Every structure is written in C-alpha cells, then in structure tokens.
A and B are shown apart, each in its own frame.
Chain A
Amino acid sequence: MSRSTIGYLALLAFGLAAPFFIYPVLVMKVLCFSLFACAFNLLLGYTGLLSFGHAVFFGSAAYVAGHALKVWQLPTLLGLLAGTGAAAALGWVIGSLAIRRQGIYFAMITLALAQMVYFLFLQAPFTGGEDGLQGVPRGSLFGVLDLSDDMNLYYVVLAIFAAAFWLIQRTIHSPFGQILKAIRENEPRAVSLGYDVAKYKLLAFVLSAGLAGLAGATKTLVFKFATLTDAHWHTSGEVVLMTLVGGMGTVFGPLVGATVIVTLQNELADKVGSLVTVIMGSIFVICVLAFRRGIVGESLALYERMIGRR
C-alpha cells in the first residue's frame, strides 16, 4: 500500500470511530464545513479564483433543501439533490457575470452579488426572513434508516463527505484539473494554448458552487434549520479563513482548517463571547503575514526541508 492510501484509511477509520468519543453533532458540523472548504479550495487553490461570496451557495442550498424537505416533503436524498442543483444553477449565473473581470474585481463582484442574493433571501417569504427556515425534518434514508437518530445521520453525512472528497480528488487529477492549474499559473499562456479559459473557469465555478451547496444542504439536515447566517458574508469570510489556515491548494488543507476553526469557535464561544471575531481576525492577519502556506502547506515544506538536509 502506498503512503497516501494509509493516510486515507487512517482518516476513514478516525471518521468511523469519532462519534463514540466526540459529540456527533459537532463532528457533523466539522464535516459539513470541511466539504464547504474543500469545494472552495477547488476554486481558490486550484484555479486561482478568490470568490468572496461563497456562502451564498452554501446558504441557498440550505434553504432550497430545507424547503424541499419541509414543504414539498421530498425524500431526504432528493432534498439534498435539489439543494445542490439550486446552488450549481446559482453558481452558473453568478459565475458567468463574475468571470468577466479578474483578480480583485472578481472577489468584489462575487461579494456584491452574494450580498444581493442575501437581501433577496432576507425578503423572500419562503426563507422565513430573520426567523430562518426551522423544523426541517431529517426523514429517513430510502425509507429504512431513521435519520432523526444522530448516530445514523452521522454515518450518512460521513458517506456524503467521503464521496464528495473523492470527486474533488478525481477532478484535481483529471486533465480538466490540469487545465485549471494551468490557468492559475498563467492565464494568458493557457489562452494562447487554445483553451477556452472562460469556459473552464465557469465550469470550475459551477462545480465548486454545487459542492458548496451539497455541504449547505447537508448542514440543514444536521441542524434542522437554514438561516440567514448560512448566506451571510461572514460565512464567506470563514470559509476563506479555513482554507487559508489549512493551506490553500493542498488536498487536506481545507479539512484541517475547517476542523481547527470550527473546534476553536465551539470551544471559545462560551469563554470569550464576541472576542471570537477578534481571534478569527487575528488568525487571518497572522496567516497572511507569516504562514501563507497554511498548516498543511508549512508542514509539508518543513518535511521536505528535513528530507533535503538528510
């Protein structure tokens, strides 16, 4: 077995055993945000596009999935699919507008468009405005497995995460993923090689939005509600932070980042209150100034240096 296979298996074993010694709802939250960060990393780390409004895909999927499950009473899996599809569709609309500009403008446009959708959610009747969409039923898997039980739901969420994670790895290592990296490294050269850069960017954007949506829809299932927080720009900032802390453009970075940030927020919320924002902001600043490769990136660099010295 190769080294990476051992890594994956160890991770899987940990995932399977985790709910026995950690509060399962917390682990599920970590998984949802890890998926969200992985989806975001696909765009930032592998395509070089900084979307500052990614929470809108997370949030819109949370609302659509919640609405589908609660009002239309769709089966659980269909509800998740509806949320993911809606996020991907929204990703197509926002993406095709935003890729008209590059760099900083791209970031500002995604942020502004996301804010617009946020205001729409605030006013649309189906979201419940400030009240949020509450009391979403978890339902059951294929009518057999009762998901209202946290343990049952946990393994479903773990399976969703594993599948999506696998899909992202496949994408990165596919020819499509190689073209994305080429765009990240040198866009004019990719154009001169004859690639339709706009098309590839849009495709990456839609894929990332859809996966972020899957994360949001799954989160609705876990917490049984979807609220404005899911679509707020603060959440967009959080996912950037998670990716940055973990290490952008690395496979496990977003996972590590999401785990660190969610755990930190959870542990600190009761102890320091609103200082949590200060701590998050400080981590941002420190990462940008000193640890731009993130935890995973810096560790890898350290490891390589040690190998090199030997």
Chain B
Amino acid sequence: MSEIFGIPIQAFMGQLMLGLVNGSFYAMLSLGLAVIFGMLNIINFTHGALYMVGAFGAWLGLTYLELGYWQALLLSPICVGIFGIVIERSMLQWLYKLDHLYGLLLTFGLALVLEGLFTNIFGVSGQPYSIPDELSGAFNLGFMFLPKYRAWVIVASLVVCFVTWFVIEKTQLGAYLRAATENPKLTQAFGINVPLMVMLTYGFGAALAGFAGVLAAPAIQVSPLMGSNLIIVVFAVVVIGGMGSILGSILTGIGLGVIEGLTKVFYAEASSTVVFIIMAIVLMIRPAGLFGKEK
C-alpha cells in the first residue's frame, strides 16, 4: 500500500500535489494570455513581469504599509490591473493596426524594463514573504504532508478560473466580449464601446497575472526573475492548448502541471523539458493545438 508503481506513495502524492499547484499557476497565466490574445491579438510577453509585479505588490504592501496577505490579495491585482490599463492606453493601442509581431516586441521590451527596475531595487535573490497565520501549518493526511497554503492555492485558482470562464461564456458582458473578438467593427456599430472593452480586457488579464503573483508570493521567493522563467513554459502551454478556448487553456494548464509533477517522480531529469516535448508532439499531430481551431 505504501507504494504506487514502485514509487513510495508519499513521494508520488507530494509531487502530484506540487504539480497541481504549478498547474494552477500555468492555468491562471495562460488564461490571462488567452483572454488578452482573443481581444487584442497580442501575445503579452509582459505577462510574466506583471505576475512578478503582483508578488512584489504583496511584499511591498506588507513591508511598507503593513497590509496583510488578504488585503494584498485584493489590492495588488487591482493595482496591477490599473497599471495594465496604463500600458494599454499609453502604448499598446498605437500598435493594433500593425503586424502583431510588434505587440510581442513591445511587451518583451516592457518585461525587460520591469525586470531590470525590480532587480536594481531589490536584487535578484528575492525577498521572503511569510505564509499568513491562518494558512500556515499542514494537514497530515497519513500518507503525505499537505501544507495548508498549497491546498489554498489550488482552490483559489480553480475558483478564479471558473468565475472567469463563467463570465465570458455565460453572461451578457461575456457575450459582448465574444462579439467584439469575432467582429469588432460590427460590434461597434451596435453601439458597444469596443476600445473600452479592449482596455478593460487588458486590465483584467493583467490583474489575473497580479493575482497569481500574490498567490505565489508565500509559496516561493518574491524575486524579479520569477516571471520570466515561468512565462516561456506558459507560452508552450498556450501553443499546446490552442488559443481559441478559455476552458481549453485552463485544462491544459492544470494538466501539464500535473504531468510535469509526475515526471519528477519517474524521471526527474526530464521534468524541465517535458512540457516542450509535448508541445513538439502536439505540433506534429495537431498544429492548431488540442482545443484550437484552424483559422
């Protein structure tokens, strides 16, 4: 009983759980990327940096304003969202008529600026952020040791992902959004303010990244480079899932996190490459991605 496929069950379940945690982050970030891409046709390279800014928001709030974790969980994403709106209004909106590649280049440059600034102020090695008292400690499940905070991350991100899916697929606002994505000119003609929706979409995507950042802060070190290493994996996740579907990007994110976690149990050396290998295979079999539609 204490073993599963010849692996101690404790290690198996532990890595599975960590995979779920990582998968939750992949899901939230790829969801944000998909929402932004759907509306703006831009691959938001700044997404990783916004995630990092969210985490630093929590840390700064705690260090200088004595804001606790729960306040940070609300305030930091709002600030990041506002920051996102500023970026959209001041820079991105001038690029919509150009080749989509310019959007990628601009957001890449912005990511460098943000990372450089935070590195310069806080150093690369990162700042500790302690787990809130309510969530410290762990459940001893007998076969494994489940830190409460990690469990909370999984639950919180699932809720956020579900709400986002619900709003976009099942509400009036979501219907406008989908219409604006499908045919902006026609939607505008119906009297819906499309530029406003674009702006809010980007702000929302940024806030989602900020929220993921705050969730990540107590689990890992708050460091300036935390986003850039993650974002490339998330790109691969997006390519695998295909950008078309909201639900698709959530499921792919969580699924790949789990696969990555399990790889650590069975063949740890491949754990950092497994997502990219899956991406290559998917590209060969289904170039549009698992949930994507060939345009």
Q: Do chains A and B touch in the complex (CB under 8 A)?
A: yes
Instruction: Write the residues of chain A forming the contact surface with B, with a CB cutoff of 8 angstroms.
Output: 50, 52, 97, 100-101, 103-105, 107-109, 111-113, 115-116, 119-120, 122-123, 233, 237, 240-241, 244, 273-285, 287-289, 292
Selected from A50, A233, A277, the residue in CB contact (under 8 A) with B104 is: A50
Residues of A within 8 A of B269 (CB): 123
Q: Is the interface of B mostly helix, strand, loop or mixed?
A: helix
| B112 contacts A278, C-beta separation under 8 Å | yes
Contact indicator B280/A278 (Cβ below 8 Å)? no
Nearest 8 CB-CB pairings of A with B: A284-B109, A281-B112, A277-B116, A116-B276, A281-B113, A278-B116, A112-B236, A285-B109
Given the interface pairs A103-B100, A108-B43, A289-B91, the reply to whether A115 lies near B276 with Cβ below 8 Å is yes
CB distance from A183 to the nearest CB of B (A): 14
Interface-central residue, B100, B109, B116, by most chain A CB under 10 Å:
B109
**Contact at B283–A107, with CB atoms within 8 Å?**
no
Query: Closest CB-CB distance, A45 to chain B, in whole Å?
Result: 12
Do B232 and A244 touch (CB < 8 A)? no
Which DSSP category, helix, strand, loop or mixed, fits chain A's interface?
A: helix
Is A112's CB under 8 angstroms from B279's CB?
A: yes
| Distance A279 CA – B272 CA, assembled complex (angstroms) | 31
* Most central of A50, A112, A233, A275 by chain B CB within 10 Å: A112
Q: Which residues of B contact A285 (CB under 8 A)?
A: 91, 106, 109-110, 113
C-alpha spacing A113/B94, complex, angstroms = 31
Decide if A273 touches B120 in the complex (CB within 8 Å): yes
| Chain A neighbourhood of B232, CB < 8 A | 111-112, 115, 233
CB contacts under 8 Å to A, within B235-282, are: 235-236, 238-239, 269, 272-273, 276-277, 279-280
The interface residues of chain A lying within 8 Å CB-to-CB of B104 are 50, 52, 104, 107
In the bound assembly, the distance between CA atoms of A157 and B112 in angstroms comes to: 31
Determine if A281 and B116 form an interchain contact, defined as CB atoms under 8 angstroms apart. yes
Provide the residues of chain A in CB contact with B106, threshold 8 Å: 284-285, 288-289
Contacting B235 at CB < 8 Å: which of A50, A108, A237? A108
User: In the complex the two chains form, what is the Cα distance from A24 to B280 in whole Å?
Assistant: 42
How distant is the Cα of A289 from the Cα of B284 in the complex, in angstroms? 36
* B232 nearest CB across to chain A (Å): 5
Q: List 21 A-B contacts (CB under 8 A).
A: A50-B101, A100-B284, A101-B283, A105-B239, A108-B236, A109-B283, A113-B276, A113-B280, A115-B236, A119-B276, A120-B273, A275-B120, A277-B113, A281-B109, A281-B113, A281-B116, A282-B113, A284-B108, A287-B109, A288-B95, A289-B94
